[in-house]
Amino acid sequence: MSTDNSILLNRVFTRNTIREIIEDNQSDTYVTAIRRYVDNPIGKNNSELISEIYGVLRKEYRNEYYYKNTILNKLLLGVHKPTTTTALTEVPIGKAKADFVLINGRAIVYEIKTELDNLDRLESQIDNYYRAFTRVSVLTCEEHFDALRKRLANSPVGICILTKRGTISERKKPEEYLDDLNLDTMFRILRKREYEAIIMKHFGKLPGVSQFEYYRCCKRQFYQIEIIKAYEDFVTILKKRCRIDVELYTRIPYELKFLVYFCDFKVADYSKLDAFLHRKEARICTSPI
């Protein structure tokens, strides 16, 4: 696929584009994608058009969004439930960012390696993840499997394959690994109200110091918690992030599930998106670009 095409497809399924649709009721990126990838768009509503554009990802360009949207649909919404399980994305952990974290009774970090990625940074990414989480798995393609099986043979890291049929096949189960857990790494991931809740649980009050000293004192108290207990509280508090309106969310089409889950939609946003999806796009022209 050409660079221009890949850039366009990467831009279509982004928060910026969906926000343009919700707030401005239009998106030049989206209209360009329709003209380029949809045959006979006239008469089709936006839900149908988005489905056809997404089909290009599935068949020709399985980018990171395709992987993230698939794992959210298959695991969060398929195996688990959004009422009992939480997903996080782009979580900064040390010098890395976790592509996808799934939290129910336990937490698993999924590092995504698509057909478009190399494996150069994998070991350093995994090392960072184990400083904050005890289970890590790589979600990848069949083409990378043999190399990963050899590299991860003696490690606790799991391996999942996103098959050509769009299913997720677990080839190596992740094992719990506790040795590298690090209180400082966990603390840096937490938001202010989150580490305050943990400190209140263990000490019954928050530090009575100046704002200048407050963060450092909270960190010092967090360091006093036994690391396994701190980790359990860390996972429990992270699970409370990303609350969605489950009833409204069920109406979101498969292709947009990942985007909407992480867009912090309000009721009005769902209504605007629903109206957009059922509308026929008036700005389409049939001339090629």
Q: Do the domain assignments include residue 268?
A: yes
90 with 138, same domain?
A: yes
Q: What are 89-137's pLDDT values in tens digits?
A: 999 999 999 999 999 989 999 999 999 999 999 999 999 999 999 999 9
pTM over 0.85: yes
Give strand pairing partners of 140.
Answer: 113, 161
134 burial via Cβ count (<10 Å: 0-12, 13-18, 19+): buried
Taking the CA atoms of residue 202, residue 208, residue 213 and residue 218 in that order, the dihedral angle to the nearest 10 degrees is 10
Q: Do the domain assignments include residue 66?
A: no
236 burial via Cβ count (<10 Å: 0-12, 13-18, 19+): middle
26 with 102, same domain?
A: no
| Measured distance CA(25)–CA(29) in Å, rounded | 12
C-alpha distance across the termini of the chain, in Å: 16
* CATH label of the domain that carries residue 154: 3.40.1350.60
Q: What are 5-31's pLDDT values in tens digits?
A: 788 999 999 999 999 988 887 899 999
Q: What are 267-289's pLDDT values in tens digits?
A: 999 999 999 999 986 565 444 43
Q: Do the domain assignments include residue 94?
A: yes
56 with 131, same domain?
A: no
156 with 205, same domain?
A: no
Q: What is the pLDDT, as a whole number, of residue 282?
A: 59
Give the end of a domain, one of 172, 191, 215. Answer: 172
109 with 163, same domain?
A: yes
Q: What is the mean pLDDT of residues 168-177?
A: 97
Q: Do the domain assignments include residue 90?
A: yes
- Separation of CA 250 from chain center: 18
Tally of domains in the chain: 3
Give the end of a domain, one of 144, 172, 200. Answer: 172
| Measured distance CA(146)–CA(154) in Å, rounded | 14
25 with 42, same domain?
A: yes
Q: Which domain holds residue 19?
A: 3-61+245-278
103 with 142, same domain?
A: yes
Q: Do the domain assignments include residue 127?
A: yes
At 91 the three-state DSSP class reads: strand
47 with 11, same domain?
A: yes
146 with 98, same domain?
A: yes
249 with 227, same domain?
A: no
Q: What is the pLDDT, as a whole number, of residue 133?
A: 98
Q: Do the domain assignments include residue 71?
A: no
Q: What are 61-97's pLDDT values in tens digits?
A: 999 999 999 999 999 999 999 999 999 999 999 999 9
Give strand pairing partners of 96.
Answer: 93
Confidence of residue 192 (pLDDT cuts 50, 70, 90): very high
Q: Do the domain assignments include residue 283?
A: no
28 with 12, same domain?
A: yes
| Measured distance CA(35)–CA(286) in Å, rounded | 7
- Separation of CA 263 from chain center: 11
160 with 123, same domain?
A: yes
Q: Do the domain assignments include residue 132?
A: yes
268 burial via Cβ count (<10 Å: 0-12, 13-18, 19+): exposed
